[in-house]
Structure 1
Amino acid sequence: MPETKSAAWNAALHPRDRFGRFIETGAIVSLWSTPGLFRVRRPLGGSRVSVEPVFGGEPRTVAADRVQVIPALSPASALEREHAGLNNIVTSPNTAEEVAKAVDRARKAIAKVHGVPDVVPVLPVITQVDRAGKLPAAGEYLVSPSPGGAAEPVSLFISPTGVQPALTAVHEIGHVLDHLLLGAGRDWFATSGRGEPVHVDDDLTDWWAAVERSKPYQLLRLMQLRLRNKDTVHWSVIRHPSTGEERPVSVTRGEVDYYVSPREMFARAYAQWIALRSGDPVLLQLLKNDIERGFGNIISGLSGWYPRQWPEEDFAEIAAELDAIFAARGLLKGAQS
């Protein structure tokens, strides 16, 4: 038989990203110094690549050395089905390093406790958000209403200057799951209510009843009563843990209404549940700090500040209800030490 010769290798037709990985058609990538996620339309000659924004926009041509392939989202990657949703929450080279580490810790802790099915679309983590110059204090799950009134996921904001970004990341992922996992089929959050009357989905009613019996919730409700006709009231006096100074603490109606809402209660309960069940030491320390802020160093009053998390003995029933919610969906892995 006549000898056949293979075509000469042409590296220009097989571009690699800035880390040396091949850039394949359909891969999800980020671009150096450009926010957002992009899908590769096709590699071009001369180490150039045609890409388009994942969430809509005009195609563009970029140099291959500006591209970073995100392996977990690329078509050739083998995703573990039980954690496909977690893999879709992605950081990029533009994400602040401390936030990227916090999100990674959050994902690993969650994966120890329960699975996350492929209900989460590609959800970029951002560290800057411009809404008329107002930045969320620590984090926010950003959604936008669709024409039909449903909430469409946009991104996950985590502040790079927050004091507890890892716990915040778990908290915000709790909001994501409230919306896309527990609220699936209704295009909104399972904890849809705020204030009165309270509405939560039927399979969360036992969890909400446990929350209502807890001390932090009852203290927040008492704050609401004292704030009924006022914007701000004096609540307590605390001793500053570092200086020993006595400091008065005031609470505001807007913040109390926010903390007592079912949606916020769920995210905070979820974060505490993941910290306890995963046993992650960093999350546990951050949780301890937050509990002490609410219930420590009190000179007078019922709590030091807004009781945002639960003392351990007050959380057992709530944790058991969260176990039941995720077990009913076949996702619970059980308590981890």
Structure 2
Amino acid sequence: MTSGAQPLAAVFGLAIPPRHPRLGALRAAADALAALPLTVSAALAPVGVRTEPMRYENGLFDSAKVELGVRIADDGIFPGLTLLHEVGHALDYLVFGQGQGYASLTRAGSDWQTWYAACLRSDSVRRIRNRLADPDFVQEASFAAYLLEPPELFARSFAQWVASRSPVAAIHADISQLAQSDLPQQWRPADFVTLDAALVTLCGAAGGVT
């Protein structure tokens, strides 16, 4: 760990009731995050991860309400992957964007451009774009467009990047299921190779995010 830095996982400590039914899955995801050598500035205040009732979302990170932290739906599906996804949003905004905006939107620098190019070349994104271009595809067009937004691409790719280094079978099963959906929300392993390499550079896995 570099001087003046703290583990990323320390910023996202779990604040989950001990009998919560999703605690095991959330703890496994938090352990996967903690296993990576990701660090952030020591000045970054804790964000935390908590659960709450949600009507529609599986999870949420609201940049306008950072004080509420990363929130996971009490009865949401894919809780572990959702935790990593929402941490990805927080990382995008609070660390890369320095609390001023989502860095994935501006994509300043060659590392961001390399990551985005890898996204656009992936089969997963190509499938979504092809469906969106289909004039007969109307019912889920807004959802497809949402999946292509850079902050969503970053959150999903970051979640898969962390999960791919975890031994927890349930998280891998979730990724596999989502990668095979009609509108793929994750990537098949072979499709993720270039993205994985781009994220290693972007997130600075060897030396940490500083």
Indicate the TM-score class for this superposition, using the shorter chain for normalisation.
Answer: 0.7 to 0.9
Tell me, yes or no, if the aligned pair for 2:52 and 2:71 is still in contact at 8 Å.
yes
Query: How far is 1:122 from its partner?
Result: 2.6
Alignment partner of 1:156 is 2:64: no
Query: How far is 1:307 from its partner?
Result: 0.9
Tell me, yes or no, if the aligned pair for 1:95 and 1:125 is still in contact at 8 Å.
no
Query: How far is 1:96 from its partner?
Result: 6.6
State the aligned residue count.
204
- Counterparts in 2 of 1:81 and 1:290: CA distance versus 1, 3 Å: same
- C-alpha distance in 2 between matches for 1:212 and 1:328: 22
Alignment partner of 1:108 is 2:22: no
Query: How far is 1:313 from its partner?
Result: 1.1
- Counterparts in 2 of 1:208 and 1:93: CA distance versus 1, 3 Å: closer
- Counterparts in 2 of 1:119 and 1:95: CA distance versus 1, 3 Å: farther
Residue in structure 1 matched with residue 88 of structure 2 by the alignment: 174
Residues 111-169 of structure 1: CA deviation (Å, up to 9, x unaligned): 2223232364232433226xxxx734211112217xxxxxx453211112122101111
Residue in structure 2 matched with residue 188 of structure 1 by the alignment: 101
Question: Which 5+ residue runs of structure 1 have no aligned equivalent?
Answer: 1-79, 146-151, 193-198, 234-250, 295-304, 333-337
- C-alpha distance in 2 between matches for 1:272 and 1:254: 23
Letter in 1 for 2:126: Q
Tell me, yes or no, if the aligned pair for 1:90 and 1:124 is still in contact at 8 Å.
yes
Query: How far is 1:214 from its partner?
Result: 0.6
- Counterparts in 2 of 1:139 and 1:88: CA distance versus 1, 3 Å: same
Q: Pick one of 214, 224, 227 that aligns with 2:122.
A: 214
Residue in structure 1 matched with residue 189 of structure 2 by the alignment: 312
- C-alpha distance in 2 between matches for 1:153 and 1:262: 23
Tell me, yes or no, if the aligned pair for 1:211 and 1:318 is still in contact at 8 Å.
yes
Residue 35 of structure 2 aligns to a residue whose secondary structure is helix
- Counterparts in 2 of 1:94 and 1:213: CA distance versus 1, 3 Å: same
TM, length-normalised to structure 1: 0.54
Letter in 2 for 1:317: T
- C-alpha distance in 2 between matches for 1:208 and 1:122: 28
Residue in structure 1 matched with residue 45 of structure 2 by the alignment: 121
Residue 98 of structure 1 aligns to a residue whose secondary structure is coil
Please provide the CA RMSD for this pair.
2.7
Query: How far is 1:252 from its partner?
Result: 1.5
1:18-167 pair list within 5 angstroms: 82-83=6-7, 85-92=8-15, 94=17, 97-117=20-40, 118=42, 120-128=44-52, 135-144=55-64, 152-167=66-81
- Counterparts in 2 of 1:189 and 1:93: CA distance versus 1, 3 Å: closer
Tell me, yes or no, if the aligned pair for 1:139 and 1:156 is still in contact at 8 Å.
yes
Residue 103 of structure 2 aligns to a residue whose secondary structure is coil
Residue in structure 2 matched with residue 271 of structure 1 by the alignment: 159
Tell me, yes or no, if the aligned pair for 2:28 and 2:80 is still in contact at 8 Å.
yes
- C-alpha distance in 1 between matches for 2:56 and 2:202: 29
Residue in structure 2 matched with residue 69 of structure 1 by the alignment: none
- C-alpha distance in 2 between matches for 1:96 and 1:289: 27
- Counterparts in 2 of 1:259 and 1:111: CA distance versus 1, 3 Å: same
Letter in 1 for 2:15: S
Higher strand share: 1
Tell me, yes or no, if the aligned pair for 1:167 and 1:286 is still in contact at 8 Å.
yes
- C-alpha distance in 1 between matches for 2:102 and 2:123: 25
Q: Pick one of 168, 192, 204 that aligns with 2:112.
A: 204
Residue 127 of structure 1 aligns to a residue whose secondary structure is strand
Query: How far is 1:187 from its partner?
Result: 1.4
Residue 68 of structure 2 aligns to a residue whose secondary structure is strand
Query: How far is 1:226 from its partner?
Result: 2.2
Higher helix share: 2
- C-alpha distance in 2 between matches for 1:284 and 1:93: 23
Taking only the aligned residue pairs, the percentage that are identical comes to 25
- Counterparts in 2 of 1:324 and 1:93: CA distance versus 1, 3 Å: closer
Residue in structure 2 matched with residue 27 of structure 1 by the alignment: none
- C-alpha distance in 1 between matches for 2:146 and 2:22: 24
- C-alpha distance in 2 between matches for 1:81 and 1:265: 27
